[in-house]
Amino acid sequence: MSVNLKTKDKELLYELDKDCRQSLNQLARKLKSKKTVTAYRVKRLENLRVIKGYYTLIDSFLLGYNSYRIYFIFQNLTPEIEKEIIEYFKKEKNVYFVATIEGRFDLVMTKWIKKIEELYLFLNDFIQKYRNYVQFYLVNPYKSILF
């Protein structure tokens, strides 16, 4: 089902995407509209399921963390071992994203690190435990990211 959006609806979505914590007064001011009209538009977009929820953006760099995405290619992997590896990452402190993917890599995970030594210790422990299954991995640092 396709939804027809008016220009003001698109402008509203743009403003909410930039900062969903803005008050209705702030949104109305930016849209050059009334607060009641803006509230109606937001409610309408929620009812149409164009807006399904709101989320928090966290700037990990302001908290003193660096963020690293690590890609893995596995070998001789069974579904049970894959599940075990995913659970290993999910239980690990400061891992905030784990996903199996298709294409060049089999799995990607992202971790917040305060000191680079933490990353080396983390990878060393993981490789020691799962060395028979890891064919290749690639560490990709983020310059900046918001979550």
> Which pLDDT band holds residue 1 (cuts at 50, 70, 90)?
low
pLDDT at 147 (0 to 100): 47
pLDDT tens for 66-89 read: 889 999 999 999 999 999 999 999
DSSP string, 47-92: HTTSS-------BTTTTT-EEEEEEEEESS--HHHHHHHHHHHHHS
Task: Give 101's DSSP letter.
Answer: -
Amino acid identity of 125? Answer: D
* Tokens found for residue 39: 């509230």
Cβ 98 vs Cβ 90: under 8 Å: yes
Secondary structure element (H or E) that encloses residue 38, with its range: helix 35-47
Amino acid identity of 37? Answer: V
pLDDT tens for 99-114 read: 999 999 999 999 999 9
pLDDT tens for 52-64 read: 887 776 777 788 8
Cβ 49 vs Cβ 2: under 8 Å: no
Return the number of other C-beta atoms located less than 10 Å from residue 70's C-beta.
21
State the chain's mean pLDDT as an integer. Answer: 90
Look at residue 49 and tell me whether its pLDDT is greater than 50: yes
> Which pLDDT band holds residue 144 (cuts at 50, 70, 90)?
low
Cβ 58 vs Cβ 77: under 8 Å: no
Q: Whole-structure pTM over 0.75, yes or no?
A: no
Angstrom distance (rounded) from CA 56 to CA 97: 15
Look at residue 33 and tell me whether its pLDDT is greater than 90: yes
Secondary structure element (H or E) that encloses residue 138, with its range: strand 134-141
